[in-house]
Structure formats: C-alpha cells, structure tokens
Structure 1
Amino acid sequence: MSVPAADRGATKVADRAVRRIAERAATEALAPGEVRTDRSTASVRGRRARVDVAVTLPYPAPLDESGERVRSHVAGRTARLTGLTVPSARVRVRELNVRAAEFGEPEAAESTGGVRARRPWSARRVPVAVAAVVAAAACGVLLYDVLSVHAAGRAPARWRADFTEWLVTHGPHRGVWPGAAAAFAVFCLGVWLMVLAVTPGSRGRLPMRPPLSGVHAVVDRGTVAALLREAVSGLPGITRARVRVGRRRVTVRAGLAFGEIDAARAALTETAERTLASCGTARPPRLRVGLRTEPAWRAPARGGVDG
C-alpha cells in the first residue's frame, strides 16, 4: 500500500535559516567585503518568506543602484536556496563604509602629514566628580571650623580635636598599625589618581584607521566580538562560537558538529581574519583560533557510498 506524498510529512524551513541565507546572499551582491549585514530578520508563513536585511554599503557609490542590486540578489538567492517564494526583500541601508582606496592607505596618510591613530582618552567624569566632591566637602567643613575659632572665638569642634589627638598618638612614627594603614591607603589613592591622570583609559575601545586628516574613529571591542561571532557562526558545521577581544589579541573558539577538521579550521581562520580586517582597526590584534569537535562529531566517510 502506497501513501500519497502529501501525507508522508512536511519540510519546514526555520526563520533563522532563511535569515542566515539572506544575510549571506546580501554579502555576495557586490564585491567581496563591500557589504556587511546587521540586525536582519526573516519570517516564514507557509511557502512564502519575508526578508528584511540591514546592510552597510561602500561609500562613495550610487545608493539606489547598489541597494537594488542587493535587494534583487537577496530575493533571488533566498528563493533559489530555500525553495520558498520571496515576493520581495526589504533592504535598509544603516551605514556607509568609506573605501580606503578613496583616501589612500594609512601609511601614506601618515607620511603626508596625516594624524596617526591613537587610543581615545577617557574624560573619567565619575572619578573626578567623586574626588572633587569629597575634597570640597572636607575642605569646607575644616575651613568653617577654623574660621569659627579664629573669627568668632569659639572652641574648636570636638571631632577636630579628637582627630588631631588621634593623629598625634597613632601616627606612623609611633609604630601603631592604624596610622600606618591610613598612610598606606592615602598613598595608594594618590598613585591611583596619578595613573588615571597619565593613562588614556577607554580600554573598551579600539582606534580605527583615520580615513581623513583630523578624523578620529574608534570601535567598541564588544562590537568587534559580535561581528566575529556572527561571521564564524554561519560557517558549515560550526555550532557554537566564543570570541574574546582584547587590546592586542583576539581569541576565537568554536565547536564543530560535522565536516573535515582541517577544512573547517582553515575556513574559520580565513573568515575571522577577513572580518577582523573589515573592522578597520589601526593596529589589528593578533588572531588566535581554536576548534574542537562536538561529542556527536564523526569523521567523514572516505570514498563513495554503496547503494
């Protein structure tokens, strides 16, 4: 007894799979590396799919022409690979990426008097405000007590007399540990304030190559990590990816569910290097890639399959 094909089951393509395909198709519409995707969505209703892709396009370029090429390629490519009907694809241009060739390489800009990329300096408003408020309050209270003694002839405040007596009897010269501990705490506070004054701070940001003289750009390390994680997660066989971005090193660790280990490691390294280079950092961090097989991974069969 044969069962009709329509009653044997159904194949459903998940929204996430359609979104990944649409994002990859958007990056293929123009030259390699010119289109980047961000915050894309896709929804599947029956045999129809709606796709919304946010992209970064190169500048300068005709936006209407580039956007139309991306839109048509996303719609056609997604429909061909998923088997679904894609009536239209919505493309939103969120950002423009300045082409380095339009302004020359960073080395050339520096040799002609351009500004060298440097780490941004943090204003450190919170530490400065706290230190200023505490110092102003302490000085104000002490000044009020001194003026009340010398101008109004009042007796010194009890807290100032007790504090002066405590300092005399518990000073460092007395060999008492509370005074030594207080002196050490004040010393550490002074060192900390000096370090804040001479270091740039903003450790969560990486300087980017300046496209023009007088232009300073930075990128958050969290943004770089998110771009790397999204790029390597779309590779075949990669099930999970952890990315850690430091000031001088980037570590990418991924898990492999199926496929050849050497080919997957090469694809992982190439994708990570390409994505890291597209971030445009002035001093690209060193890349370290780690790949481990998942518990369900099995070595691919060698040779053909007998029927």
Structure 2
Amino acid sequence: MSAPGTPPASRTPPDERGATTVASRAVRRIAEHAATEVRAAGPVRVSGASASVRGRRARVALDVTLPYPGPLDEAGERVRSHVVDRTARLTGLTVPSARIHVRALSRQDGAEAEQAVATEAGPVPAGTARRPWSQRRLPMGLLTLVAAAACGVLLYEVVSVHVAGRPAARWRVELVDWLSQHGPGVTATDLAAAAGVFALGVWLLILAVTPGKRRRVPLAAPGPGVHATLERAAAAALLRDAVSDVPGITRVRVRMGRRGARVRARLGFGDRDAARDAVRRAALAAADGFGLARPLKLRVRVRTEPTWRAPAAHEEGGSTR
C-alpha cells in the first residue's frame, strides 16, 4: 500500500496532464513592448509587427523607427537581440531570430543629438551586405490561389463522375471536344494566348532571380546573421534636411538610388562654387551616419535662382572703389 496522500503510480505525470500554448497575438504584443524598452540614442517606436508560433518556436518581425543621428546598424542589432531575449524569457518559447525593418528615422535636435553622437558613435564594422530578397507574397499568393481553385474544381469533377456515377459536366465535355478539334494553330487567339503564357513565364522567372525590395538599401552588418536595411525615402529625407542647412540654399531635391544619390539644389545668394562644395560636404557627412554597406556615390548639381547675383569682387587688400 502507498502512504496516505501519495498519488497512485498509474496517475498521469504532471508534465503530461495538459499543455500551455501562447497565442501569436500575445507574442507579438510582447515583442512590440520589448522593442520600445531599448534606448538606442533615443526612443524606439514600433509601427508594425507580426509573429507566428509553431510548437515551441516563435518568429517575430518588427517595423521600427530609430532615432537619428546614430549608428543604425548597432541600434538595429541592439533592438533585435533584446527582442529575442525578452520574448523568449517572458513566453518560454524558443525565438531563433527576429527580423527588424527600419521603416523610418526620427531626427533629434539640440543637446539630445549631441549626446547621441557622443555615446553611440563608433566605427562601422567592415564587411559586405547583400540586398534583401523579397518573399513575393502577393504574386505567389495569387498564383497559388488560382492553381488551387483550378485543381479543386477538376478534382471535384473527376470524383463526382467516377465515384458518385454522375454524368460529366458540360464544360468538361465541351473543353475536351474543343481540344480534340483544335490543335496548335496560328490564329490570332492562339497567338495571344501563347504570348500571355510566355509573358507570365518570363515575369515569374524575373521574380525568381531578382531580389526585389528596390526601395531599401543594405546597411553594414555588425555580425554574422544580421541583415539591416534602410528605406530610400528616409535616407533621401535626411540628405535633404542636411543640405537645406547650407547657407544660401533655397530648394533641394534628392533622388536616392541603390548605390548613389543625386542632389539638386538651388542657390539664392553666395558663391556658387563654395556652395557646391558645402552641399557635397553636408551630404557626405549625413551619409556617413547611415552605416551603408557600400560607399555612397554622390552627384551634386547647384543651380542659381533667377534672383541670384554674383558676389561683388574684392581685392585682397580691401574693397575697390
């Protein structure tokens, strides 16, 4: 006999009496809150997040806004590691990785920016980074949906004929008759259909061999397995703000590419050559804070406003009369 209060040996062990599951929504909320806990030279804001839980493993992805100026690669890695550790500790799940997408940058001014540069500035680790590859969710989803619908209709028709003994559907009979009477030809309809199928195949091949995500530029990775990107629009806005601070510049247009940027500025007053050099220096100084994987190729053009007048000539010893 067992002692009083001792459970029978046949009773189910405690670790097999039930299961605890954590919903994906809860994991997403925890990851969002964990990202905001990081102080990377300023507050980190989360604009979007997603999470998926399969068994005891969870994967999370976050769209964040990082403070600027500051090393974006180090800030992104700090957010990623903290989100992974914090989410795993609070949920009890295994979080193998977290994808951090820098959606935008929040500019800091005054003493806050000076403190951020003094505390967070550092050398960008050397290395190469590849462009991120798009998952092609929309085209693959549409193609899968169309293929699944066609296969489902055909499967239902075949099963209903061979199992339930129903007559074949009219559309299938007419399709088979049409195919038996119309082989490959050179009619306008056949050529249009062939051209459409060919264009679809070429489009799918292009999607398969190209990385996509042309609106992002890769940043230098601080370590293996870390991939950071920056939106072109955010980089262009920061370059435009930096160039706008140059004295005499009235209007600025910036076009950001994958490997370079084109800056078009208008000069209202001052020397044009000096303004061009100042614009180049300001743009390069702003680009150095991005932490790009490759050096930025910069093209600068400064044009004068219609009201611009050349500065008055002065001699070295004084003004002329």
Q: TM-score range by the shorter chain?
A: 0.5 to 0.7
Residue type of the partner of 2:154? Answer: L
Residue type of the partner of 1:147? Answer: V
1:272 maps to which of 280, 283, 307: 283
Counterpart-to-counterpart distance in 2, 1:119 and 1:163? 46
Residue type of the partner of 2:122? Answer: R
1:293 paired to 2:297: no
Unaligned runs of 5+ in 1: 1-34, 37-53, 61-69, 75-88, 111-115
1:142 maps to which of 126, 132, 154: 154
1:122 paired to 2:134: yes
Shift of 1:126: 1.6
Unaligned runs of 5+ in 2: 1-40, 43-66, 76-107
Per the alignment, residue 242 of structure 2 pairs with 231
Percent same amino acid at aligned positions?
Answer: 50
Q: In the TM superposition, what are the counterparts of 1:185-196 in structure 2 within 5 Å?
A: 185-196=196-207
Q: In the TM superposition, what are the counterparts of 1:203-242 in structure 2 within 5 Å?
A: 203-242=214-253
Per the alignment, residue 85 of structure 1 pairs with none
User: Over residues 173-194 of structure 1, what are the superposed CA-to-partner deviations in whole Å (9 max), with x where a residue is unaligned?
Assistant: 2211112211221122122222
TM-score normalised over the length of structure 1: 0.62
Q: How many residues align?
A: 219
Shift of 1:305: 7.0
Counterpart-to-counterpart distance in 1, 2:186 and 2:150? 27
Runs of 4+ in 1 over 6 A off after TM superposition: 89-96, 304-307
Counterpart-to-counterpart distance in 2, 1:93 and 1:145? 70
Residue type of the partner of 1:233? Answer: S
CA distance 1:57–1:178, change in 2 (3 Å): closer
Residue type of the partner of 2:123? Answer: A
Shift of 1:286: 1.6
Shift of 1:201: 1.5
CA distance 1:90–1:301, change in 2 (3 Å): same
Counterpart-to-counterpart distance in 2, 1:190 and 1:295? 52
Counterpart-to-counterpart distance in 2, 1:220 and 1:98? 21
Shift of 1:199: 2.0
TM-score normalised over the length of structure 2: 0.60
Residue type of the partner of 2:288? Answer: A
Counterpart-to-counterpart distance in 2, 1:148 and 1:181? 34
Q: Give the SS at the match of 1:236.
A: coil
Counterpart-to-counterpart distance in 1, 2:304 and 2:171? 68
1:198 maps to which of 183, 187, 209: 209
1:99 paired to 2:122: yes
1:153 paired to 2:165: yes
Q: Which has the higher contact order (CA 8 A, sep 6+)?
A: 2
Whether the 8 Å contact between 2:243 and 2:283 is mirrored in structure 1 is yes
Q: Give the SS at the match of 1:100.
A: coil
Shift of 1:209: 0.8
Whether the 8 Å contact between 2:70 and 2:289 is mirrored in structure 1 is no
Whether the 8 Å contact between 1:170 and 1:179 is mirrored in structure 2 is no
User: Over residues 268-303 of structure 1, what are the superposed CA-to-partner deviations in whole Å (9 max), with x where a residue is unaligned?
Assistant: 111112222221111133211111101111111123
Q: Give the SS at the match of 1:272.
A: helix
Whether the 8 Å contact between 2:253 and 2:265 is mirrored in structure 1 is yes
